[in-house]
Structure formats: structure tokens, C-alpha cells
Amino acid sequence: MITHLEHRQAAPTGLRLSRAAGHGRPTAPVRIVHLGLGNFFRAHQAWYTDNAPDAADWGIAAFTGLSRDLADALAPQDGLYTLVTRAPDGERLRVVSSVSAVHGGDEHDAWLGYWADRAVAVATFTVTEAGYVRGPDGGLDTSRADVRADVAALRADPHAPVTTVPARVVAGLRLRRSTGAGPMTLLPCDNLPENGAALRRVVLDLADLVDPGLAAWIAEHVAFATTMVDRITPATTAEERDAVRAATGLADTAPVRTEPYSEWVIAGTFPAGRPAWEEAGAQIVEDVLPFEQRKLWLLNGAHSLLAYAGGVLGHRTVAEAVADPWVRGWVEAWWDEASRHLDLPDDDLLAYRRALVERFGNPRIEHLLAQIAADGSEKLPVRVGPVLAAECAAGRLPLGASTVVAGWALHLRGRGAPLSEARPDRVAGLADGDLADTVRAVLDRLGPGLGGHEPLVATVLDGARALEALAEA
């Protein structure tokens, strides 16, 4: 049942969503440039901007990654789209107006043009953990062919098209320096610990390779803020598009569905200004780390457990997996382990866990485990690795963390969702040999020396064999 519908006027069936037809607000001037025009960005940062009291002054120019499909879908709609918020007892539909311009990732001249514009004050990013192209030490991975190609291209021509995120940022900042467009803030919104520092490191590393003077200018004139973001946002389906058309009479090729819960915690400075996001519910804090760890470990870590262990057991969605008593027990064990290492009040952690149970169990949010399972080599070292190492250092063999590792080991060996890795080389060889060899290899990937921790290896092996037995029962 639809409980609320926000459109500025009724529409005859088949009318396309557009500002010219009176849908949404008038186009706001672009003051934010965004990379990663996907569903999460449109349900989160764009939604917060749309709800800010000064939204009319803060339009977003949003770019896709490499594919331009979503830009092509949204351009005829003037950047408008319908956000469908699905609660267990109904839906709320709203047209979001904060995206003023959409571009494909191949529109490099347009990208550079925004960075040279003094009005642009903030750049935001949702490019996934893999988009930061970091090496094992957290710095720029200069062993990658695409990174080396981008460095060579920018050395030869400041306006040359590039593909990696750090290179796109460096190209933009290089032009901003030359045009005197002034300071700005870079605001990453991906699930990386201390994501502001992570982005700063790879940007400065690449800038130093291209133009050492530029690196010094960036360090002086560009602020890197840190964020924690949270809102479950599944992929859009054809059924979702049909349902929006039936409910509104509008043809929207790119609606987004999401859950009622949303959280955004921000720390950092904004020398050129920003929207009043705190008036839309964002928290502006001095230190994001406690909130970041809580979300990475309790939500994202549990998601990985559901994806790998639940996937091995044949579950398809988060709601299905968390309803399984076995899986729910492993999740609770994981939360107990992770909570021991979080510097937040116990009452806050218990309330957050209760909220997660409700969110995970929402039957109207079809969050696919296969979507969560992608890029485990990037996700698990930050979602599970720190807790696993801390528990072992304390002399404990953690059941929940071991079950995540067991599920991932089986996933790498072909159980559950199909393997999907942005960097296949990161998992090359991990599934070689027998199951014990895989367990040792993945443990070493998650923490130096963990593959030689024999009691832990035995615990993970027992968990993997138990998972296999349950799957075959």
C-alpha cells in the first residue's frame, strides 16, 4: 500500500518525469560535483541535499563511473527521479530534485569544467572501496596498468582523459589551481575507514607523480572531510519501474528504492561552504571513527556474514538469511565480538543492533546477497579483519568472525553467489589446494600471520564443514 505520494501535480499515465512538466523543483545552480551516479548516492547524499533548507542553492552535477547508461536514462528526466522508501507497512514516493546535471564518465571536458568553476565548493564520491586503487600499504597502487597509464597521460597533457578516481581528481584540481577557482572540500562517501585520509593519500601520491608542485598546492588549499554513510539501497528492477508508473502515472526510467533508516556522519572543514545537511538529519562531529567502526563492523560485517554463510545455505536476500535461526545466531555472535572493541556506550550499541534486526528483516527491501558478496577482497579486511585480529590477540576464538571467514572461503571455492571481484588478481590462488589451504590463505589476507594460528584455522575449518553439511542437509 502506498502511504504517501509527493508529486507536484497529478500526471496522465505515460507522461515522462521532467521539470518542464512541473515535477520537482526548478534546477538549482551546480555547486557540488559527484562521481558515482548510482542508487546509493541518489538515496543518500542527493536525498540529504534535497531535504536541506537551502537546497535551491545547491545543485549537483553527477557523473557515472565508466558506463554512461544511468546518465542516458536520467538526462531526459532533467536529473529527476522517484525515491521509493519502503517500510514494512507501506511506501512513500518522492521526486528528488537535487541532481541538476547528469554526465557519463566519458565526458571528461565537462568534468574539468566543473572543477574550474569557483561556484563548485564540494566534490563527493561513491566509487566503492575498489575505486580508491590503493596498494597494500594504503597508498596509490602504482603497480596497476591503469594507474600508470593515467600518470603518463597527465604528464603529457593536463586535459587528457583518464579513468581512475585519483587521476580524475588530480586532473580537476590541476585545472582548479591554474584557473584560480579557490579552495574546496573533497568528501568521500564509501565504506572505508577514515575515508577522507584514504582519498587524500592516493590523490597526493598521484599528484606527486604528475606534478610535485600540485601536490603541495592540494595540501594547502583542499580539505578532505571524512564521512560515515548508511542506507540500504538495493538495485532497481523492471518491476520497480512498473510499480512507480502504476502509482504515479509517470514514466521514470531510474527510480530508486530504499529503507526508511538513513544515517550520515561528517567531520571536516568546508572552506567554500556546503549545504545545511545537518538540518536534513546529518550529524556534524569532530570524530567520525566510533560511528564508522560501529557501522563497518556491525552492519557491513553482518552483511558479509549473511552474504557468504547465507549464500552457501541457498538464501537469496538479506531478509531470507536473517530469518534462518542458524544464520541469526552467527550474526548475534559476530555482534557480541565486534561490540567488545567499539568505544561507544553499551545502550547505544544495543539500540543499534535492535535497529539492524528490524532493517535486515524488512521484507519490502529485497537486498540481494549476491550484490553484497561482490569484492570481498576489498571489504573483508576492513569489515572483519580488525575484530578477528583483536579477538585472537585477547586469546579468544571468535565464532562469528570465523563463520564469515568460513563462508568467504567456500564462496571463493564456488559455493553460494557467483564470484565477482573488481580486482580478480586479489583473489587469484586463494582457492587453490584443499579447503584447509584456502582457509589459511584467506586468514593471511585478513591479518598477517593469522593463517599460522592453528586453533583459529581449526575453528574456521569446522565452521566451513558445518556450513557444507547444513547446505547439503
Q: Is 365 helix (H, G, I), strand (E, B) or coil?
A: coil
The whole-number average pLDDT for the span 356-372 is 91
Contacts for 70 with CB less than 8 Å, ≥ 6 apart: 37, 38, 64, 102, 254
Q: Which fold has domain 19-286?
A: Rossmann fold (3.40.50)
Per the CB < 8 A criterion, the answer to whether 268 and 195 are in contact is no
User: What are the tens digits of pLDDT across the range 386-422?
Assistant: 999 999 999 999 999 999 999 999 999 999 999 999 8
- Residue 9: what pLDDT? 40
- Residue 14: what pLDDT? 57
Q: Which fold has domain 290-472?
A: N-(1-d-carboxylethyl)-l-norvaline Dehydrogenase; domain 2 (1.10.1040)
Q: What is the 3-state secondary structure (H, E, C) of 371-435?
A: HHHCCHHHHHHHHCHHHHHHHHHCCCCCHHHHHHHHHHHHHHCCCCCCCCCCCHHHCCCCCCCCH
- Quick one: pLDDT band at residue 120, thresholds 50, 70, 90? very high
The whole-number average pLDDT for the span 451-473 is 96
User: What are the tens digits of pLDDT across the range 211-254?
Assistant: 989 999 999 999 999 999 999 898 899 999 999 999 999 999 99
Residue 90 scores a pLDDT above 90 = no
- Residue 282: what pLDDT? 98
Average pLDDT, the chain: 94
Q: Say if residue 1 is exposed, middle or buried (CB neighbours under 10 Å; 0-12, 13-18, 19+).
A: exposed
User: What are the tens digits of pLDDT across the range 47-81?
Assistant: 999 999 999 999 999 999 978 999 999 999 999 99
Residue 457 scores a pLDDT above 60 = yes
User: What are the tens digits of pLDDT across the range 142-167?
Assistant: 999 999 999 999 999 999 999 999 99
The 184-188 sheet, strands edge to edge:
99-103, 59-63, 30-35, 122-125, 184-188, 222-224
Residue type, 200: R
- Residue 333: what pLDDT? 98
Per the CB < 8 A criterion, the answer to whether 130 and 422 are in contact is yes
Cα 133 to Cα 136, 155, 399: the distances in Å are 10, 19, 32
Query: E strands, 10-107, where?
Result: 15-16, 30-35, 59-63, 81-87, 90-96, 99-103
Where does CATH 1.10.1040.10 sit in the chain?
Answer: 290-472
- Residue 136: what pLDDT? 87
Least confident of 1-15, 222-236, 367-381: 1-15
Where does CATH 3.40.50.720 sit in the chain?
Answer: 19-286
- Residue 8: what pLDDT? 40
- Residue 66: what pLDDT? 79
User: What are the tens digits of pLDDT across the range 263-280?
Assistant: 999 999 999 999 999 999
- Residue 1: what pLDDT? 30
- Quick one: pLDDT band at residue 15, thresholds 50, 70, 90? confident
The angle subtended at Cα 317 by Cα 36 and Cα 289, nearest 5°, is 50
